[in-house]
């Protein structure tokens, strides 16, 4: 079983570093944020190297972005399902039309033969 790597937002990292800067211990912040102490040391080093350049990645998506992505995937899936069902319905309708034509053709030809037989 593979473990996925956790990603944190820039705001989360900044908040953790600020707690460290205000005097909280690494162990305390590590437990509160459920992050390894080595990660906190790295975040603090990145923050001190340059606040504007610290934590450049996207990190974890916000809940709204995750929800939007989930809904877009769902819409895509439903679009595929609708297209499939439309094609299936079209095939069923074509089969019914062919069946209806095959049923009416013999009865029409029989009625034509009967009417032709009466006229003669």
CA of residue 89 relative to chain centroid, distance: 26
Structural contact between residues 80 and 54, judged by C-beta atoms closer than 8 angstroms = no
pTM of the complete model: 0.43
Lowest mean pLDDT, pick from 4-8, 52-56, 60-64: 60-64
Predicted local distance difference test score (pLDDT) of residue 60: 54
Instruction: Name residue, tokens 């820039």.
Output: 10
- pLDDT, one tens digit per residue, over 13-61 is 889 999 998 988 999 999 999 999 999 998 888 888 876 667 766 555 5
Whether pLDDT at 80 is above 90: yes
Burial class (CB within 10 angstroms; exposed 0-12, middle 13-18, buried 19+) of 120:
exposed
State residue 8's pLDDT score.
83
Q: Cα–Cα distance between 11 and 19 in angstroms, integer?
A: 12
Residue 87 confidence (pLDDT): 96
Q: CA 58: distance to chain centroid?
A: 19
For residue 75, the Cα-to-chain-centroid distance in whole angstroms is 8
How far apart CA 2 and CA 5 sit, in angstroms, is 9
Residue 4 pLDDT: 74
Give per-residue pLDDT as tens, 105-118: 555 555 555 656 55
Torsion-angle region of 49 (φ positive above 0: left; ψ -120 to 50: alpha; else: beta): alpha
Give the pLDDT of residue 113: 58
């Amino acid at each position: 079983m593979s473990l996925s790597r956790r990603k944190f937002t820039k705001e989360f990292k900044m908040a953790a570093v600020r707690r460290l800067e205000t005097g909280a211990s690494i162990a305390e912040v590590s437990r509160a944020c459920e992050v390894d102490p080595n990660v906190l040391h790295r975040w603090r080093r990145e923050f001190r190297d340059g606040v504007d350049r610290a934590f450049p990645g996207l990190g974890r998506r916000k809940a709204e972005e995750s929800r939007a992505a989930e809904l877009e995937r769902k819409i895509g899936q439903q679009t595929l399902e609708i297209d499939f069902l439309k094609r299936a319905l079209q095939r069923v309708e074509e089969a019914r039309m062919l069946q209806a034509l095959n049923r009416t053709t013999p009865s029409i030809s029989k009625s034509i033969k009967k009417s032709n037989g009466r006229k003669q």
